[in-house]
């Protein structure tokens, strides 16, 4: 896949596949120019009722033209589009393009399809994200693999803005590579993707990028430090845990205090002794989706050589039941010194994260953001649409929400009030690891907040957004766009 950006003449530009739009309220010059070149084909098909200008509807026209083999015509609805409307249009068009197996060179002429408060660079970046997502395949474990198809894509501009758009495309390509890694890791099953596998991935990445350094803590080292909560989760598994620390130092960012992103890396969550019900338990291989998004974000930063200083920390463990496993009622001492009564071994994410957060806090960062498939309750609250954000600092939350609005990687803030924290009281230890059914996402975040009192911290609950269920189940690569955008914005401010 390669991208070019050009202010080209539509009446002569050479491409076998075109992507143009129809709007319900605005004539589009690019579509008209292509229509003329094709002897009125588009207008005739529209007249015949074969095309639609409705937002997100899409058709392919096949031609007998010697160079232009096919035209993908997508409905743009009314202009200006909303950002969501634009994304819907781009998803429809890129989805169709990804299905056109014979397409080798696509010309995308959508630049004049305007979106409220967004420019051509933003649209181009959304296009790259959509097309790369449509072309993603996970056939690593299929014996019959689909042949990789080369496709060049030229974004046709209407204004002289090639530099800004090109830069956006380069960044979006980097993010897409990061997202593909996130999806690969989260799709890889627990019999392969275990904590040691994740540690090896980190070491591989450090070999690939000179800007990235990796440090791995094994079980003995974690014991010596006193990470009693993380180790309690790993006890029931034959796969030993790892704490993975990756440091990315971009150009000019040396010596700057880092932002730390911490990922929940439960490579399989059976629930432990508080065993989960069997239905869809296979999906708990993606309980390292937070860790996968840390990998993906770091990869995106490496690929674009971003001028930021970021540490990624992954708490990797497998949550299994056996004779050695932690029991409900067990009390452990965390790295922070606080004690926890483990009432439910299925609330394991917060246990691995609390020790990773204490470790992160000791590095004196500018901020910490953790990313975790933490609670089923978050899916009940926000569905599969939005990531839950909880933070001890409203400016940090606002920054993350702003990045989410830009990328379309939707997020929504939930409150972190003291009243909720009451639910974590334990008669035997400093706290319990569960707070009952009400507000399960918030009490989980309250638990984490007890380990980040000295630093600006936010928590992203991605239980609903990291994965899609059903017949096309699989990892989404979210929230890599959000995290990458947030880090880039921080570098600019």
Point out the residues that are catalytic.
276, 350
- Which residue from 187, 179, 173 is spatially nearest to 477, judged by alpha carbons? 179
Residue 371 interaction partner, one of Zn ion, ligand BES, Mn ion, none, beta carbon < 5-8 Å per kind: none
Nearest residue to Zn ion, using CB?
269
C-beta closer to Zn ion: residue 55 or 231: 231
Task: Tell me: does residue 346 bind Mn ion (CB under 5 A).
Answer: yes
How many chain residues bind Mn ion (CB under 5 A)?
3
- Give the position of tokens 């338990």: 281
The residue from 46, 203, 344, 426 that contacts ligand BES (CB under 6 A) is: 344
Task: Give the x-and-dash track for 440-479 against ligand BES (CB under 6 A).
Answer: x----------------------x----------------
Contact indicator for 243, 313 with CB cutoff of 8 Å: yes
Strand partners, 309: 249
Least CB distance from residue 349 to Mn ion, whole Å? 6
How many chain residues bind ligand BES (CB under 6 A)?
15
Give me the half-sphere count of Cα atoms (radius 13 Å) on the Cβ side of residue 280.
Answer: 11
Least CB distance from residue 322 to ligand BES, whole Å? 18
C-beta closer to Mn ion: residue 100 or 346: 346
In degrees rounded to 5, what are phi and psi of residue 310?
-135, 135
Nearest residue to ligand BES, using CB?
376
**Beta-carbon contacts of residue 251 (< 8 Å; ≥ 6 apart):** 305, 307
What whole-number distance in Å separates Cα of residue 453 and Cα of residue 113?
Answer: 47
Least CB distance from residue 245 to ligand BES, whole Å? 23
What whole-number distance in Å separates Cα of residue 316 and Cα of residue 288?
Answer: 8
* DSSP per-residue codes, 337-390: S-EEE-S-TT--HHHHHHHHHHHHHHT--SEEEEEE---HHHHHHHTTT-EEEE
Least CB distance from residue 399 to ligand BES, whole Å? 25
Task: Tell me: does residue 195 bind Zn ion (CB under 5 A).
Answer: no
Q: Where are the alpha helices (DSSP H) in 188-288?
A: 195-208, 219-225, 228-234
3-state secondary structure of 242: strand
Structure-block tokens of residue 135: 């072309």
Task: Tell me: does residue 461 bind Mn ion (CB under 5 A).
Answer: no
What whole-number distance in Å separates Cα of residue 159 and Cα of residue 222?
Answer: 57
- Which residue from 47, 44, 70 is spatially nearest to 59, judged by alpha carbons? 70
Query: Where in 243-282 is the site for Mn ion (CB under 5 A)?
Result: 269
What whole-number distance in Å separates Cα of residue 460 and Cα of residue 326?
Answer: 26
Report CA torsion sign: 429, 430, 434, 435: positive
Task: Give the x-and-dash track for 211-250 against Mn ion (CB under 5 A).
Answer: ----------------------------------------
Structure-block tokens of residue 54: 């409705």
Task: Tell me: does residue 347 bind ligand BES (CB under 6 A).
Answer: yes
Task: Tell me: does residue 355 bind Mn ion (CB under 5 A).
Answer: no
Task: Tell me: does residue 375 bind ligand BES (CB under 6 A).
Answer: yes
Task: Tell me: does residue 132 bind Mn ion (CB under 5 A).
Answer: no
Range in contact with ligand BES (rule: CB under 6 A) among 22-30, 78-86, 214-222, 342-350: 342-350
Range in contact with ligand BES (rule: CB under 6 A) among 27-35, 98-106, 251-259, 368-376: 368-376
- Which residue from 164, 79, 176 is spatially nearest to 126, judged by alpha carbons? 176
Task: Give the x-and-dash track for 261-300 against ligand BES (CB under 6 A).
Answer: --------x-----------------x-------------
Task: Tell me: does residue 421 bind Zn ion (CB under 5 A).
Answer: no
Task: Tell me: does residue 318 bind Zn ion (CB under 5 A).
Answer: no
Task: Give the x-and-dash track for 321-360 against Zn ion (CB under 5 A).
Answer: ----------------------------x-----------
Burial class (CB in 10 A: 0-12, 13-18, 19+), 402: middle
Q: Which residues bind ligand BES (CB under 6 A)?
A: 269, 287, 344, 346-349, 373-377, 434, 440, 463
Q: Which residues bind Zn ion (CB under 5 A)?
A: 266, 269, 287, 349
């Amino acid at each position: 896949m390669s991208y070019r950006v050009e202010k080209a003449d539509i009446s002569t530009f050479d491409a076998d596949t075109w992507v143009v739009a129809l709007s319900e309220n605005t004539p589009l010059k690019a579509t008209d120019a292509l229509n003329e070149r094709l002897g009125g084909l588009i207008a005739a098909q529209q007249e015949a009722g074969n095309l639609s200008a409705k937002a997100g509807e899409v058709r392919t026209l096949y031609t007998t033209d010697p160079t232009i083999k096919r035209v993908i015509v997508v409905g743009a609805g009314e202009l200006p589009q909303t950002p969501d409307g634009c994304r819907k249009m781009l998803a429809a068009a890129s989805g169709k393009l990804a299905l056109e197996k014979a397409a080798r060179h696509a010309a995308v002429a959508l630049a004049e399809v305007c979106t409220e408060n967004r420019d051509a660079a933003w649209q181009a970046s959304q296009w790259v994200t959509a097309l790369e997502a449509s072309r993603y395949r996970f056939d690593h474990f299929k014996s019959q693999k689909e042949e990789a198809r080369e496709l060049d894509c030229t974004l046709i501009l209407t204004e002289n803005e090639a530099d800004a758009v090109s830069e956006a495309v380069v960044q979006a390509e980097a993010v897409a590579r990061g997202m593909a890694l996130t999806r690969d890791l989260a799709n890889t099953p627990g019999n392969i993707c275990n904590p040691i596998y994740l540690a090896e991935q980190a070491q591989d990445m450090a070999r690939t990028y000179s800007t990235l350094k990796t440090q791995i803590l094994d079980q003995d080292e974690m014991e010596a430090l006193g990470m009693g909560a993380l180790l309690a989760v790993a006890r029931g598994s034959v796969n030993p845990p790892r704490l993975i620390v990756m440091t990315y130092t971009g150009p000019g960012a040396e010596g700057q205090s880092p932002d730390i992103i911490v990922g929940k890396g439960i490579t399989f969550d059976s629930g432990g002794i508080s065993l989960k019900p069997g239905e869809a338990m296979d999906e708990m291989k993606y309980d390292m989706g937070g860790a996968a998004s840390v990998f993906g974000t770091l990869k995106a930063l490496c690929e674009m050589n971003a001028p930021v200083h970021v540490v990624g920390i992954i708490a990797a463990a497998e949550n299994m039941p056996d004779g050695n496993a932690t029991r409900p009622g067990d009390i452990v001492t965390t790295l922070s010194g606080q004690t926890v009564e483990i009432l439910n071994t299925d609330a394991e994410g917060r246990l691995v994260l609390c020790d990773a957060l204490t470790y992160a806090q000791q590095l004196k960062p500018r901020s910490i953001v953790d990313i975790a498939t933490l609670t089923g309750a978050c899916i009940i609250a926000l569905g599969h649409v939005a990531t839950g954000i909880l933070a001890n600092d409203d400016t940090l939350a606002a920054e993350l929400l702003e990045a989410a609005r830009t990328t379309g990687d939707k997020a929504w803030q939930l409150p972190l009030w003291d009243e909720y924290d009451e639910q974590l009281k334990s008669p035997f230890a400093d706290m319990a690891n569960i707070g009952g059914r009400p507000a399960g996402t918030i009490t989980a975040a309250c638990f984490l907040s007890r380990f980040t009192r000295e630093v600006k911290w936010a928590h992203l609950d991605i239980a609903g957004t990291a994965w899609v269920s059903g017949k096309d189940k699989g990892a989404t690569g979210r929230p890599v766009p959000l995290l990458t955008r947030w880090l880039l914005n921080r570098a600019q401010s």
